[in-house]
Structure 1
Amino acid sequence: MIYLTRVENFNAAHKLSNPAWSDEQNVAVFGKCANVNWHGHNYELHVTVKGTPDKDTGFVFNAKTLGDLIKIHVIEKVDHRNLNMDVDFMKGKFTSAENLAIGIWDQLTPHLPEGVQLHCIKLYETPRIYVEYFGA
């Protein structure tokens, strides 16, 4: 089994806030991330697929094609957007990095060809904080 990772970047704003809680409780739990005027991140997205190299190309999957799929189905939807308000696949979801990674997985999975599996979504929210999702 060979693993191929493509790295992309995007910038997005969001707010972490539980509407069932008071402003004070949201700030106590989420700190600056509960800012009423939103806040942003420079995200780094690692998408890893796995499979067996094709006998004719030597590729598990064409890295340029993978990049195109990521750009069309994820980056164009999230880059310079408000995750809480503008992103269709995040509507009605808490916009944590964890949920965003799951949403990205769900966006990409249907577009991979037979024989290529999504292995991992690694999403850096900051240089020191990231999440990894390996599917349900």
Structure 2
Amino acid sequence: MDIIRITKQFTFETGHALYGYDGKCRNVHGHSYKLSVTVIGVPIKDSDDVKLGMVIDFGDLKKIVKEEVVDPFDHATVFNKNTPHIELAKELQDRGHKVILANYQPTSENMVIDFAAKISARLPQNIQLHSLKLRETETAYAEWHAADN
């Protein structure tokens, strides 16, 4: 079989704070995130298809990831909506800032789970999300793999 994995990388800037955390990350701060999205499928074999030889057009994958992750999260601040940060979030929103109130503690681990669900829901039926790698810094990242879930 001709199963192929392809990967596209994305970058975005996001701020967050980890309520209740016992380290520096309890303070509002930001990261230059790097997201690698890997999908798996079989290249199109229909010679009449304009996407002949592609698993998925990189442009189509880019559109999905931009709409679901990059555009909403870029230059936004993410807070867990079930914490006292909700007051800070409201103040920032009232001043015109982009805020995301998540149903989770905004760690890289939880963000990558959220992103996997959003991206998977938008992929064509014949394409599967294989893995995501969300790099928070040059030395720290979280990974999600379909095989593990």
In structure 1, the gaps of 5 or more residues are: 19-25
1:133 & 1:15 partners in 2: Cα distance? 22
Summarize deviations over 1:72-98 as a string: whole Å, max 9, x none: 11111100001115225xx22011100
* Number of residue pairs matched by the alignment: 122
Whether 1:65 aligns to 2:65 is no
| Partner Cα distance (1:77, 1:7) in 2 | 16
Structure 1 residue aligned with 2:44: 54
Identity %: 34
Unaligned runs of 5+ in 2: 47-51, 80-88, 90-98
Query: Residue 114 of structure 2: SS of its match in structure 1?
Result: helix
Determine the structure 1 residue equivalent to 2:49.
Answer: none
Letter in 1 for 2:137: T
When normalised by structure 1's length, the TM-score is: 0.85
Cα deviations by residue, 1:59-83 (Å, 9 ceiling, x for unpaired): 0110111011110111111000011
Larger Rg: 2
TM-score (norm 2): 0.78
| 1:34 pairs with one of 9, 26, 29 | 26
Deviation string, structure 1 residues 43-71 (Cα, Å, up to 9, x no partner) = 00000000011113100110111011110
Separation in 2, partners of 1:42, 1:73: 17
Q: Which residue of 1 aligns with 2:35?
A: 45
Match of 1:121 among 127, 132, 139: 132
In structure 1, which of residues 95, 103, 126 is the aligned counterpart of residue 114 of structure 2?
103
